[in-house]
Homo-oligomer: A and B are copies of this chain.
């Protein structure tokens, strides 16, 4: 499978928990199945949405295994393997490859702000140990590091670092990436409220948890872009933008869990300290979801 495996709507499942905060694999598989049925172009477990850093090694391996089994080759799988230490990142990446993932995603998680050289070495050491493509993921809001476009360009010098995901929400950064790296690399948008702007700027795909709640609108937006129909894309975007802003503002795990319940599905529980949305927030999300219809 080539690096061009990933495009369109890359759907991020949450990691649901049971009432006593253990991982609920059975519910996770149901949720993944829904993403596939609703035409996701790829499945990406263990992202921020999947509360990756709140899980231990065993739990992460269970999630990877469950994803590969449930997807069963229908779409490609992109596994998050980010860790604070290089050693654990390598171990998780090796596991993901051996389990059958098509690619891994790495955000340079940071407690101590890393230098550019430290980030480069981190990616290089992981890349040397796996054969599948790596998506370098920039998201200062959760990862704590803001990789410059120059650093992203440097990372692409590592042979199997072939994709970039940008979640800064800075459209000008996407312009830079497209302009500077355009033909070397696919870039993916991870900022939900920027979905339209990023596709217009040339993004290959949209990494989104919104597909758990409003899959038809997500898929139709990508389709309008493919059809070069700007006016239709604009209409579709404005139908979903309020939901996109809400889920980002309130936090993806909380919002998707609540949204699934609102839609009559099972959302499972969250792991402390994360807690469910307030009733007021749930009420607001309910109204937004009612208005976010494709007709």
Chain A residues engaging chain B, CB cutoff 8 angstroms: 21, 48, 51, 53-54, 84-87, 108, 111-115, 117-119, 121-122, 125, 141-142, 144, 169, 171-172, 175, 178-179, 193-194, 196-197, 200-202, 225, 228-231, 233-234, 238, 241-242, 245, 251-254, 271-275
Q: Give complex CA distance A21, B85 in Å.
A: 11
The reply to whether B172 and A193 form a contact with Cβ atoms under 8 Å apart is yes
The reply to whether A197 and B171 form a contact with Cβ atoms under 8 Å apart is yes
**What is the CB-to-nearest-CB distance from A135 to chain B, in angstroms, rounded to a whole number?**
18
The reply to whether A54 and B202 form a contact with Cβ atoms under 8 Å apart is no
From A249, which residue of chain B is reached at the shortest CB distance? B113
**Which residues of B are found within 8 Å of A194, using beta-carbon distances?**
171-172
Not counting A112-B251, A119-B273, A144-B144, a sample of 14 additional A-B residue pairs whose C-beta atoms are within 8 angstroms of each other reads: A85-B271, A112-B142, A112-B253, A112-B254, A114-B273, A114-B274, A171-B197, A175-B238, A175-B241, A179-B238, A179-B241, A200-B200, A202-B234, A229-B230
Known: A87-B272, A230-B229, A271-B85. A175 touches B193 (CB 8 A): yes
**Which residues of B are found within 8 Å of A254, using beta-carbon distances?**
112
The reply to whether B54 and A200 form a contact with Cβ atoms under 8 Å apart is no
The reply to whether A273 and B193 form a contact with Cβ atoms under 8 Å apart is no
The reply to whether A117 and B196 form a contact with Cβ atoms under 8 Å apart is no
The reply to whether B118 and A275 form a contact with Cβ atoms under 8 Å apart is yes
